[in-house]
Amino acid sequence: MPLHFELVTPAKLVRSEDVHMVVVPGTEGEFGVLEGHAPFMSTIADGALKVYRTENGAPEEIRITGGFAEVGDAGLTVLAEHVSE
C-alpha cells in the first residue's frame, strides 16, 4: 500500500502523490513515515525530505525550511515555508 504524501507551501501545492516512504528530519530526530503510521505531528528542522517512491529505489531529496509535518488518516502532509528542489 502506498503512502499519500503532500507537500504544501504558502504559494502552492508542490506535491500530491503516492509514495512508498518519506523520511522527515524532525526537530527531535529523523523519522520515516510508511503507510498506516499512527497519527502524529512534529515540527521539522531545516533540512532535506527524502522521498522513496519505491521500496528499493534511490530517494529524491527536497530541501525545506520552516516545516511542519502531520500524519493522519489521509497520509503525510508537510507544510513548509520554503522549498527548493
Partner 1 sequence: MASLKELKGRINSVKSTQKITKAKQMVAAAKLRKAQAAAEAARPYAQRLAEVMGSLSSKITVSENSPKLLAGTGSDQVHLLVVANSDKGLCGAFNSNIVRAARAKAIELEAAGKTVLFYLIGRKGRAVIRREYPKQIAHMFDTTDVREPGFNEAERVADELVAMYEAGKFDVAHLFYSKFRSALVQEPTSQQIIPVPAPKAAAVQADAVTEYEPDEEEILAALLPRYLKTQLFGALLENAASEQGASMTAMDNATRNAGDLIKKLTIVYNRTRQAAITTELVEIIAGAEAL
Residues that bind partner 1 (CB under 8 A): 8-13, 26-28, 38-43, 66, 68, 70, 72-73, 77, 79, 81
Q: Residue 26 CB, nearest distance to partner 1 (Å)?
A: 6
Shortest CA distance to 80 belongs to which of 19, 39, 36, 22?
22
Cα–Cα distance list, 3 to 39, 57, 77 (Å) = 13, 15, 11
| Nearer CB in complex with partner 1: 40/60 | 40
Contact 60, 84 (CB under 8 A): no
| Nearer CB in complex with partner 1: 54/65 | 65
Q: Residue 67 CB, nearest distance to partner 1 (Å)?
A: 10
